[in-house]
Each structure stands twice: as structure tokens, then as C-alpha cells.
Structure 1
Amino acid sequence: MNKQTIRDEDRQILLELARRSIEAATRQRSLPQIHLADYSPDLQSEGASFVTLTIQGVLRGCIGTLEAYQPLVKDVVEHAAAAATEDFRFMPVSPSEVKLISIEVSILTPPDKLEYVSMDDLLSKLIPGESGVILKDGHRRATFLPQVWEQLPEKEEFLSHLCSKMGAAPNLWKTKNLEVFTYQVEEFHE
């Protein structure tokens, strides 16, 4: 997303709710209660989000959804808790780690199917740093947010790592015509 669509006040509310959700989840307490009428229309609207947790720049958890199915404010609350306690790649965040956690929220646009005719065509249509990418092969799928381009700036390496994340051979994108979708995000952090 090139322009800011979430107001600064709403960004702050989402970040505060995310932190409260992480604190509650790591202490096995109830997540913050959300009464939609208390929030702006933007936060009441359906939205797809990812919540990314880091400690000193090192990934500690990242959970989200690619398609909107519930109010954005609820989506962020649930994904913040899940990123802290349910990301299978990591041990759950401990209560003592919460103060060390940095929170980033990414609000996703709806994904668009990327049509391509060859490997070279696919590579030419990817825009590093701008688009998140979803690869789909049958029932398997995986995504990288646009921010992942910072760690994997080469298109071939990006796609190979995404295939691995999907549970496929890293070079599958070179040998099979996978479904590819792109999306943009509006990201903000503490």
C-alpha cells in the first residue's frame, strides 16, 4: 500500500491491543474483550492481518491470515496472541520475554492472481520490497510478506525459500507452474 489508510490513532490502538493480547496469552489469561462499537469504522471492518514479533531484530513469531474474515481489531488481537504462543517454528514466548518483544502489524490488501507464462515472465513481474507473494501448489501454500525481501532480495532465492516454507522442493517454482498471488501491506510497529 502506497498510502496510509489506517489512521495513526487506530494504529496505536492496534499496537496496544496486540501487546495486551501477548501479555494475556503468555500468562494463559483471557484475551482483551473487543466491543466493536468502541472502535472506529476502519477497525470494525473486515481485515486481514499478520502480527510479527521480534526480539532485537530476530524473528520470534509471525501469524496471520491472507484473507479478511472478521473485524480487523479482532484479527489483530487473535494473531498477536497466536504469534506469541502458536507459531510452530518457535517455543512459546514466555512472560519474561514480553517486555523484549517488538511488535509489527501488517494489514494486507486482497491477493491478486499473478498470471505468467514462463519462469522468466514470473521473475519479471515480481517487485522486490513492494509485494507479498503467495505460492500455491494444490492444497499447499505459503506466503512471505513484502518485508521478507529485505532478507531475501534476489527473486530466485525468495521463491526457493518460499517453496521450502510450503514444504516443497526449493526449485519447484522452476519446474512446475504454481499458482502465484501478490498483495501489498500497510505495516506499522511500536
Structure 2
Amino acid sequence: MLIAAKRKGLAPKLLDCRNSGDTAGDKSRVVGYASFALASESPRYGAGHGRKLLQIARQSISAALGAGGEPGAPVAEESWLRESRASFVTLIQGDELRGCVGALEAQRPLAQDVAENARAAAFEDTRFKPLTLDEFERTDIEVSLLSTPKRLLFEHHAELIARLRPGVDGIILEQGEEGKRATFLPQVWEGLPDPEQFIAHLKRKAGIAPDTELRSCRVKRYTVLKWREAEFRQ
């Protein structure tokens, strides 16, 4: 349990400490008891954290283009950057998507995750040609930090639709036996505000037939903290 807690950036916090003498009265020979909670060591993420993650993403792409910056994994001097977290990096030109790559589960330190996802969004997203230096100068970067996905239980289609939170939920849709899986970040609600259409497009992205009963699929949801370069230029 302690190994798993460490991987997730959790630390024990003492809640209370007592011994049998507190109740029995005799303190010459006692048995001690303590209660602990495992809680995140992470600071509350704010604008400063977002700026740092955006800087890591931009420097990673810049180094890959030979335009400056150190190649390889970034130096994570701050402890929160060394915690295992899941992130997505999105590239935007104007109002158009130019690349988006990320992980749904924490697999590596946050700084490394953002750096590698940034490079992958720029050069490995198969929907687009590799990013050029000229494009890079007019590309806006957005970093999303994901919460741990949680299973969304429902009895029927209408219940699932009613439980979705437009603008808040990122959704993962899986069809286990077929190995089909896809996700939409919460930002996708901006273009697909209707829950029915949101799920229909997510099915299409996952390669799941439109008439497939959602009860045969596994649905998870998560939330994100996100920062975009354009927000800091305003």
C-alpha cells in the first residue's frame, strides 16, 4: 500500500495517536494506536504551475525542432513535477486543432509526461503532418492535467446521458472484448454541447458501431485543470 501511495504522490498524515492507558487508566504497560490518512503532497495547482507546464511543453517542441532548448527529459527541480500524473498536450492554430496527445493514467513524472506528450502532439499525431518551425511560431499550446478516471455506473442509456456534466466531464468509452477505446477531453463539449451528440461522436472515434448498446461498454469520467498560452498573453 505504501509503495502504491508513493507512486501516486500520497504521504501519510497523522490524524490521532492514543494508547490503552487513555481508556483503561493504567499507563505502566500500554498498547499504542495511531490513525493516518494518505493525502496528496501536491500543492493546489494555480497559474504558476500552469506557466511552468506550458514552458516545459514549448521547450520540448523547440528542442526537437532545433530551435533552442535542451533535448531529453526536463530537469524537474520542484517536487510536484516529479509526481506521477497524467496529462494531455493540445496544439491549436487559430481555432483549429493541430495536434493532441496524452495519457489517461499516470505512468511517469509529470514534467516528463508533458514534455513527451508535447513532442508527440507536434510530430506523431497521425491526423496531421509533423509540425514545422514556421508553424510552431504561430501555434498555441494547451496543457491539461487529468484527475484519476472513475467508473460511471448506469442502468440504461437515458441514465448515462442524464449523468453527464457538459463542460466538466472528460469521458472514456471502452468496448472491452473488441479492445476499442477513445476519450474526449472536457474541452470537446465546446463543439459538442449536446450529450447525445457527444456520445455519438465518441462512439465513432472509438470505432464502436452507432447502434451499440451503451450497457455493453465501460464508461469512465475525469476532470481536468487546463492552461493555455493565450490566456497568459491577455
Q: TM-score, normalised by structure 2?
A: 0.74
**CA-CA distance at 1:176 after TM superposition:** 5.0
Deviation string, structure 1 residues 48-104 (Cα, Å, up to 9, x no partner): 000000000100000000000111111000000000001111111111100111000
More displaced, 22-31 or 112-121? Answer: 22-31
1:135 corresponds to 2:173: yes
CA contact (8 A) 1:105 1:187 kept: yes
Runs of at least 5 residues in structure 2 that lack an aligned partner in the other structure: 1-42, 230-234
**CA-CA distance at 1:175 after TM superposition:** 5.8
Runs of at least 5 residues in structure 1 that lack an aligned partner in the other structure: none
Among candidates 158, 162, 187, match of residue 124 of structure 1: 162
CA contact (8 A) 2:173 2:203 kept: yes
1:103 corresponds to 2:137: no
Partner residue, 1:161: 201
Report the structure number with the largest CA radius of gyration: 2
Partner residue, 1:79: 117
Higher RCO (C-alpha under 8 Å, 6+ residues apart): 1
Partner residue, 2:217: 178
CA contact (8 A) 1:48 1:66 kept: yes
Partner residue, 2:30: none
Counterpart CA distance in 1 for 2:74 and 2:188 is 31
1:90 corresponds to 2:144: no
Let me know the Cα RMSD of the aligned residues.
1.9
SS in 1 for 2:141: strand
More displaced, 27-36 or 126-135? Answer: 27-36
**CA-CA distance at 1:34 after TM superposition:** 2.2
Going from structure 1 to structure 2, the CA distance change for 1:51 and 1:182 (only over 3 Å counts) comes to same
Going from structure 1 to structure 2, the CA distance change for 1:176 and 1:26 (only over 3 Å counts) comes to farther
More displaced, 26-35 or 90-99? Answer: 26-35
Counterpart CA distance in 1 for 2:214 and 2:112 is 40
Counterpart CA distance in 2 for 1:28 and 1:136 is 39
Going from structure 1 to structure 2, the CA distance change for 1:117 and 1:85 (only over 3 Å counts) comes to same
SS in 2 for 1:100: coil
Deviation string, structure 1 residues 28-59 (Cα, Å, up to 9, x no partner): 997344233x2x22111110000000000100
Partner AA of 2:144 in structure 1? S
Deviation string, structure 1 residues 145-187 (Cα, Å, up to 9, x no partner): 0010000001111011101111222343x46521000000000
**CA-CA distance at 1:7 after TM superposition:** 3.5
Aligned length: 184
Q: How does 1:53-72 map to 2 (within 5 A)?
A: 53-72=91-110
1:48 corresponds to 2:77: no
Partner residue, 2:35: none
Q: TM-score, normalised by structure 1?
A: 0.90
SS in 1 for 2:137: helix
